[in-house]
Amino acid sequence: MYFYQKIILVNDLLHITKGNNNLLKRREAQRLQRISSCLKYVIGDLAKDKLELDWLSNPSFSTEDALLLHQRATEVANLIPEKSPLIRTTSKSELSGESDTDESLKQSSKKRKKKKKKHHNYKKTKKKTKGDSSSSESDRDTKHIKDKAEGSGRNHEKEGAANLDKKTSNLTSNCFVWLDDIQAFTAETFRIDKKPDPANWAYKSLYRGDIARYKRRGESCLGIDAKKQCITWDSSATKRKQLQRRPERYFTKNNVKMLNTDGIPVCNKSSPSDPTAFIPVFQMEPDDPSDTTDMNPLGIYDPSTTVWLQGKGCKSTDHEPVNMQQTIQEPGININSILMTKVEEHNKKVRENPRDINAWLEFVSFQDELMRGPSPYASKGEHEVRRKSLKLILEKKLAILERAIESNPSNVDLKLARLKLCTEFWEPPALIKEWQKLIFLHPNNPELWKKYLLFCQSQFTTFSVSKINSLYGKCLTTLAAVQDGSMVSHPLLPGTEEAMLAIFIQQCHFLRQAGHSEKAVSLFQALIDFTFFKPDSVKDLPTRGQVEFFEPFWDSGEPRIGEKGARGWKAWMHQQEKGGWIALKPDDDDDDEEIDEDQEIKDKSLPKWHIWLDFEYSREARHWLPWRPDKTKKETEEDCEDPERQVLFDDLGPSLIHLSNPDLQRQLLYSFLQFLGVPCTSKLFPSNLYFAMDENNIFESVLSDEKPLTSVSFPLSGFNSIGHMDTMLRGRHHIGHYKEGEEFIQNVFHVLFLLFSGKEKSNLSICWLQYEISKVVQCLEAKNKKKVKAQGRKSKKLAKNLLKEPDNRNHLSLWKLYAYLEWLLGNIDDARKVFDTALCTAGTGGCKSPQLCSLSLLYAQLEAELLESTEGAVISRAVHVLTKLAESGPYVPYSGQVLSVNVLKARKTYEHALQDYLSKTPVSDQDQVSDANQLVNLVGCYALFQYLTVGIDAAVLIYAQTSEKLEAPGPQKCENTGDSFGIQNFPTALEAITLLHTNLLRFHMKISVYPLNPLREALTEALKRYPSNQSLWRSYIHIQRKSHSASKARRFFDGVTRSTNSLEPWLFAIQAEQLRKKLTENVQRADVGEIHSTIPETGLTNRIVALFEHAVQSENGTHCPLLWRMYLNFLASLGKKEKSKGLFYKALQNCPWAKVLYMDAVEYFPDDLQETLDLMTEKELRVRVPVEELDLLLEV
């Protein structure tokens, strides 16, 4: 009990000492701590030793000592005067007593040091205490302990207890008084310690443990006079580290975050419209220190803070500059507040008007902006580290869309957006099920069907040709039922018939690209028969009923559209009612059949893959027509060597649709002609424009560079015609089609001539003659004189036969094409005779005749291209032709001179005619189209006339004035005043005029010296307005490839690709970089000694790859076979075989239907021929030459 009583006493004393550390000196507290530790070890040892710890019978155990000690301390505290200073002195007896106590306690605990592991803690405590105390005292204590170490343990314990009693009494009587025990004290109560600390001599500053911790805010100090005094702070360690850091680059995470955030406004939005010439900097004059108040005793607060302390408000307008300055100093808070405001606005919109679909979609797209900037919900001063993962953004978007769909369960756009997001999360089977649910709910939505078909068509894992073809049939059958009214549950949406035709054409191009050209041709044949040769008896039936009547005709073996003797479904039906056809004897000309050249291998030394490509291409070019048994030769269906060449009615019956609109019927015909390779004026539907683009001929412009004024631009470049499936490295093997294909096209035109008359028939004749001219142009570009001569004879024969037709004898467009054909073939005198003859028979229509204007414009352009310079152009044949056009009189052939008076009259006539057309209001759509064509021809004639007689500036002025007139007014001006047409009415006219403008500038730069900037500006402005015009893009890259600096072109391409969804900017940007790379390599490889490159280009390869990557990620580029083919060809040209192979499989993930991709892969990776063919067979693509057949042919 004695030891427990003493340790309780010491612990109480220690508790008092620790609670008032500021009143005792550190060494006293440390010695008391040492005493306590020693006593605890002693008691621990005694408690475990049962023989020595007989505390129950211990006579020294008493409870009176603790009470006496407490009474003594209380009496001393009461006797101290109130205002006496507390001075502590330490005597020698204290030190000696303390040392004795230490010695006795340590010797008693040293007996059992080896048995007790807790003694390690005592060593740590001793070291710590030793370090804080002075060296002399610690050495003295240690020596004293060692001298007394051999004494008796129990005696020393009793002496230690007695010394503790004595020391405690000394402490309470002489050392200190607790402030809490003094009832009345003043601010003067303090203690003084006069004993010096030797550590202050050894160290620079006070011990950091004796100084309270604090953080300095700012660089000032309270209470100093700013005008007379200043204080300098040493830089902290963190600032020194910041100074040692290197400056961050622009691409680091913090700088990218700053660049992605919105800028901070530097002036108030409510300021006047006229901005100030400078940004004011608001400063505050320092207040006089003597100007103090009760709320601002030190004079350190600004006026607004003083007012706020007084509890008064202030107007926000009075302190707008201060707030603005705070905003500029803390940009993060401003950005966060802006983002939070936008979030609140979006939430408010969708909450107040949940039916607003655009608001929901804008909220979804806003999430990208929100994730780019800092989080608006981070607390002030908190450095938030967020992981900007794509999954987080997608999940937030998905949650918003699900809320939107709950409010708008019948909206298709929201569901489509949700499905588009889910492609990142779900597997293809789950996505297909969701698509099927959506189609089941909205079977009458054709736009939804288009997206569904594209989705299924681009899923490589579930793709097969038969599945997708049947899906097209199901789509058209469903929409036809909606159109007929058979599906009562869903109404007919506007634009369904046009969308059905677009889906049908998309199906035909899908089959062509998959290699099933026979099925694609049969589909066109069936729908043309079903549309134009329908019997009157079945017209009132629904579409499926009409298809049932059409099936017997298709299976009867009668000739179809494009075959010899084709009469159509209607004639067959009438003849069946009368008793069938009369069998006719076949012509003798059919006996000389074309020999198949692909039945034997010409060169067996070639590699196997090379032979396979030759065979596959040859059969693709010759066997694109469906095979049918020839009854005259007693053939049956079993005689067909390749069963895939036969087309059954089940493959095309579900895709037959009803077209009642005459414009759509004509669109069907022209689409079929384009499918066969015949150039027409009409274009494909936008929905299937890029899916069908697969040929690398959009960059070819040989004649366009040589003859810029009369360059021929075909509207469907970039699309392989039927029978052509060329690889990227080989290019086109032959021009046009083989004999069987040419006969098929000829038969198609003959059948179509029976359907139409008048203007439509003439338009078909124009298409046929344009097809012949296109073959001549291809021969000229190939620079094969033999082919040019042979093709020229055929084309001239056709042109003369067409002009012999009674309806075409006075058709100036045909005469124009015939004269142009003669000019291309080099027969310039014959061409002039044709032009003069046509102009003489045209009459006196003058500028008011569209055909006469067009004929005169082409004649003048061809003549102008013969000029070597503009000198003497005033008396040229071109000026004569344009002058006679303006006179509106009978045409007189050129005699070698042009009168100046006639030139002045013609200029006035052109000026008045142009003003009349610009102020004319069209009555109907047909008049509008004819007026647009006439306006283009008139402007072209007037500008060329001014160019030849005055100069290039006068011609450019006419184009600029006309374009300004067409662009300027809006629809409201066109309705009443009729000042001009406006771009809304004449988009095609403005595009054609822009093309004439740029062509004239290119021609002028070719024959004379002229700056490049006007042409570049004209092309850039035109391409911003018409980013899908391939002719303009060809001109642009033609002029840019001669420039040493590519920065302007790159910035322009980047701007156009960001502002439009068209794919042409991407394609031509890639082509421009590839041309530049080729030019650089040619310069570096030139063998002319040391070369100092004038085009220092580095990283072109990486730039081209980056362009490809961005292009294939765009909406239209993902499913464009041509883009993937170009990308694959580029990587293969670099020799990166592994990367090319990976890219090939990536391309198949997006375009698994494109057979040309597989054929390119055979050429790039010849070792994988068998693997590629197996993959084609698995996906049911058309393989015309199996490997087994090739092996047999090689053995023979």
Per-residue pLDDT of 698-724, as tens digits, reads 887 656 667 888 876 665 677 778 878
Residue 390 confidence (pLDDT) above 50: yes
Greatest distance between any 2 Cα atoms in the chain: 155
Distance CA 211, CA 206 (A): 8
Res. 212 pLDDT band, cuts 50 70 90: confident
The pLDDT, as a whole number, for residue 280 is 59
Least confident of 64-78, 160-174, 677-691: 160-174
**Which candidate, 863, 861, 772, places its Cα nearest to that of 825?**
772
Residue 264 confidence (pLDDT) above 70: no
Q: Identify residue 544 by its one-letter amino acid code.
A: R
Share of the chain above pLDDT 90, in %: 19
Q: Is 86 helix (H, G, I), strand (E, B) or coil?
A: strand
Res. 1144 pLDDT band, cuts 50 70 90: very high
Residue 615 confidence (pLDDT) above 90: no
Q: Which residues lie across from 309 on neighbouring strands?
A: none
Mean pLDDT, rounded, for 800-809: 86
The residue whose two tokens read 């592991």 is 117
Residue 573 confidence (pLDDT) above 90: no
Q: Classify residue 1050 as left (phi > 0), alpha (psi -120 to 50) or beta.
A: alpha
Least confident of 199-208, 489-498, 1064-1073, 1122-1131: 199-208
The pLDDT, as a whole number, for residue 120 is 46
Residue 496 confidence (pLDDT) above 80: yes
Residue 80 confidence (pLDDT) above 60: no
Percentages (nearest 5) of helix, strand, coil residues in the chain: 65, 0, 35
Q: Encode pLDDT of 471-493 as tens digits.
A: 999 999 999 999 988 888 888 89
Mean pLDDT, rounded, for 445-460: 91
Residue 549 confidence (pLDDT) above 60: yes
Mean pLDDT, rounded, for 1015-1025: 91
Highest mean pLDDT among 224-238, 638-652, 685-699: 638-652
Give helix then strand counts, H and E, for the chain.
48, 2
Distance CA 983, CA 975 (A): 13
- 223 Cβ partners below 8 Å, 6+ apart? 298
The bridge status of strand 86-87 relative to strand 191-192 is parallel
CA 312, 315, 319 angle in degrees (round to 5)? 110
Q: Which residues lie across from 86 on neighbouring strands?
A: 191
The residue whose two tokens read 């009612």 is 577
Instruction: Identify the residue with better confidence: 112 or 1164.
Output: 1164
The pLDDT, as a whole number, for residue 1088 is 59
Which pair of tokens denotes residue 154? 């129990």
Exposure of 271 in the CB half-sphere (CA atoms within 13 A): 12
Q: Identify residue 406 by its one-letter amino acid code.
A: E
Residue 523 confidence (pLDDT) above 90: yes
Q: Encode pLDDT of 128-183 as tens digits.
A: 444 444 444 444 444 443 444 344 444 444 444 445 444 444 444 444 556 566 55
The pLDDT, as a whole number, for residue 930 is 67
Which pair of tokens denotes residue 483? 């159109």
Residue 16 confidence (pLDDT) above 60: no
The pLDDT, as a whole number, for residue 1131 is 93
The pLDDT, as a whole number, for residue 22 is 46
For the chain, the first-to-last Cα distance in angstroms comes to 119
Mean pLDDT, rounded, for 961-983: 51
Residue 645 confidence (pLDDT) above 60: yes
Q: Is 87 helix (H, G, I), strand (E, B) or coil?
A: strand
The pLDDT, as a whole number, for residue 34 is 66
Distance CA 450, CA 468 (A): 12
Res. 891 pLDDT band, cuts 50 70 90: confident
pTM, entire model: 0.71
Distance CA 765, CA 750 (A): 10
The pLDDT, as a whole number, for residue 183 is 54
Res. 30 pLDDT band, cuts 50 70 90: low
Distance CA 232, CA 230 (A): 7
The pLDDT, as a whole number, for residue 410 is 84
The pLDDT, as a whole number, for residue 607 is 86
The pLDDT, as a whole number, for residue 1129 is 93
Neighbours of 687 (CB within 10 A): 18
Mean pLDDT, rounded, for 652-669: 90
Res. 684 pLDDT band, cuts 50 70 90: low
The pLDDT, as a whole number, for residue 282 is 54
Distance CA 612, CA 597 (A): 14
The mean pLDDT value of the chain amounts to 75
Distance CA 1153, CA 1176 (A): 9
Residue 17 confidence (pLDDT) above 50: no
Residue 806 confidence (pLDDT) above 70: yes
Burial class (CB in 10 A: 0-12, 13-18, 19+), 354: middle
- 187 Cβ partners below 8 Å, 6+ apart? none
- The DSSP line for 166-181 is HHHHHIIIII---GGG
Residue 264 contacts residue 327 (beta carbons within 8 Å): yes
The pLDDT, as a whole number, for residue 1044 is 73
Residue 822 contacts residue 771 (beta carbons within 8 Å): no
Distance CA 464, CA 1032 (A): 39
Q: Encode pLDDT of 899-952 as tens digits.
A: 888 889 989 998 998 888 888 755 455 556 667 788 888 999 999 999 999 889
Res. 564 pLDDT band, cuts 50 70 90: confident
